[in-house]
Amino acid sequence: MKRRTFLRSAAFSSLALTPASQVLAALAPDNKYRKNIGIQLYTLRGALGKDAAGTLKAVAEAGYKQVEPYGFPNCQPLLDGAKAAGLALNSSHFEWGSVVSPKDAAMSDFQKIVEKAKEVGLSHLVIPYLADGERRTLDDYKKIAANANKAAELTKAAGIQLSYHNHAFEFAPKEGGKCGYDILMAEFSKDMKFEVDVFWIKVANLDPAELITKLSGRVSQLHLKDLKSGLKLPEYGTIPQDAFKELGNGIIPMEPIIAAAEKAGVVHCHVEQDHSPDAMASIKQSISYLGKL
């Protein structure tokens, strides 16, 4: 309980009421994240399904420098389109069942994914999600941590960093007041890291910058997205689609997050917006906001 009290600081409570666009910022033109900003391609899944090559060309024209695919390794159009558009491929979300529920002790399915990632030139792989049945108890999270640690040994041998991407459900209180994220923080090995999604941290009514600082040295990447004001928090499950906002259009101040990321050793930052009536317009607005910081 002390950890959760620490994360829910009084300072965060006041920031939660302030639109991000009103927070004074000073993101230098040569800031490493702005210079190499990425986009999680799930944001554009509709357009990519219709025209992957054209969509990725538009992503590059909007100013993004790298992309983080989803569904790896079964996402060849995304890989080909990114290469053709001159977009870097450093990280990808992958079919997580190969780690969370491996078919054999050798994790043979995951080994094939690692081999493909090495072939593509990826430096990061990310466990993107857990299905409901995979995360019911703290013991479930302990099993996940054990499997992830084993998988991280395989990726390390291949020169690839394995990380875990959060949503809000990991912070829902369970037995003894602990939450799943408590287990992951305690039981992940030094080779296993986190990809922190700042939106879902805020949905759980926690402070993203404070969590990143607390996990200093253990956060590989960030997902940057903004949250609509006026929602009742915490929400650990489904939230309205219009809760997802472009950077600067919500209540999450980005500058403290980026500052914390630099100090914590975060390697890459990716914009993501799970839902939008016009995803391409949204990602253009978000990168424009970052350019004004």
Asked whether the bond before 69 is cis by omega within 30 degrees of 0, the reply is no
Residues of the chain above pLDDT 90, percent: 85
pLDDT for 26: 41
DSSP β-ladder status, 38-40 and 66-68: parallel
Measured distance CA(151)–CA(162) in Å, rounded: 8
For residue 185, what are its two tokens?
């923080």
Residue 31 banded pLDDT, cuts 50, 70, 90: confident
121-130 average pLDDT score: 98
Residue 237 confidence (pLDDT):
87
Distance CA(259)–CA(239), nearest Å, equals: 28
Banded pLDDT at 291 (limits 50, 70, 90): confident
Percent of the chain's residues with pLDDT above 70? 90
Report the pLDDT value the prediction gives residue 30, as an integer from 0 to 100: 75
Dist. CA 132–CA 293, nearest whole Å: 38
Q: What is the pLDDT of residues 104-116, one digit of tens each?
A: 999 999 999 999 9
Question: What is the pLDDT, as a whole number, of residue 198?
Answer: 98
Please answer whether residues 84 and 53 qualify as being in contact, where contact means their C-beta atoms are separated by less than 8 angstroms. yes
Say which DSSP state 153 is in: H
Q: Give me the domains of the chain, ranges plus CATH numbers.
A: 2-292 (3.20.20.150)
